[in-house]
Amino acid sequence: MRSRIHTLTFLVLLAAWSAAWGVERFPPPEFTETGHQLPQDQYPRPAAAVTQYVDVVVLFVSLVLATFLALKLRSRNWVFALMIACLVYFGFWRQGCVCPIGAIQNITVAFFDGAYSVPLPVLAFFLLPLVFTLFFGRSFCAAVCPLGAIQDVVVVYPVRVPAWLSHALRLLAYAYLGGAVVFAATGAAFLICRYDPFVGFFRLSGSLGMLLFGGAMLALGLFVGRPYCRFLCPYGVVLAWLSRASSRRVTITPEQCVRCRLCEDACPFGAIQKPVEPPTPAERAAGRRRLAWLLGLLPLLVIVGFAAGGALGTPFSKLHIIVKTAERVRAEEMGEVAGTTDESDAFRESGVPGEELYATARLLRARFALGGQLFGAWVGLVVGGMLIYLSVRRRREDYEADRGTCLACGRCYDYCPVELRRRKAEPKSQIPDSR
Partner 1 sequence: MQEEKGGIPRREFFRAGLRGVALAAIAGGGGYLVTRRIAARQVWQLDPEKCTQCGKCATNCVLKPSAVKCVHAFAMCGYCELCTGYFEPEPNELTTAAENQLCPVAAIRRTYVEDPYFEYEIDEALCIGCGKCVEGCRAFGNGSLFLQVRHDRCLNCNECAIAAACPADAFRRVPAERAYLYRPGYSPVRGKS
Q: Does 117 bind partner 1 (CB under 8 A)?
A: yes
Residue 46, classed as helix, strand or coil, is: coil
- Select the residue interacting with partner 1 from 34, 425, 433, 435 (CB under 8 A): 34
Q: Which of residues 40-59 bind partner 1 (CB under 8 A)?
A: 40-41, 43-47, 49, 52
Q: Does 189 bind partner 1 (CB under 8 A)?
A: yes
The angle formed by the CA atoms of residues 399, 420 and 394, to the nearest 5 degrees, is 10
- Select the residue interacting with partner 1 from 17, 93, 116, 389 (CB under 8 A): 116
Q: Which of residues 323-382 bind partner 1 (CB under 8 A)?
A: 325, 341-343, 345-347, 349-350
Min separation Cβ 168 and partner 1, Å: 25
401 phi and psi angles, rounded to 5 deg: -80, 135
Q: How far apart are CA 399 and CA 261, in angstroms?
A: 8
- Residue 269 neighbours by CB under 8 Å, 6+ apart: 158, 225, 226, 229, 230, 405, 406, 407, 409
Q: Does 27 bind partner 1 (CB under 8 A)?
A: yes
- Select the residue interacting with partner 1 from 56, 60, 68, 95 (CB under 8 A): 95
Q: Does 398 bind partner 1 (CB under 8 A)?
A: yes
Residue 106 or 373 with smaller CB distance to partner 1: 106
Residue 141 or 224 with smaller CB distance to partner 1: 141
Min separation Cβ 372 and partner 1, Å: 21
Residue 23 or 425 with smaller CB distance to partner 1: 23
**Element containing residue 273 per DSSP (H, E):** strand 272-273
Q: How far apart are CA 202 and CA 217, in angstroms?
A: 15
Q: Does 3 bind partner 1 (CB under 8 A)?
A: no
Q: What is the DSSP string of 241-264?
A: HHHHT-SS---SSSS------TTT
Sign of the alpha-carbon dihedral angle for 364, 187, 133, 382: negative
Min separation Cβ 206 and partner 1, Å: 6
Min separation Cβ 4 and partner 1, Å: 7
- Select the residue interacting with partner 1 from 62, 67, 75, 105 (CB under 8 A): 105
Q: How far apart are CA 65 and CA 86, in angstroms?
A: 11
User: Amino acid identity of 199?
Assistant: V
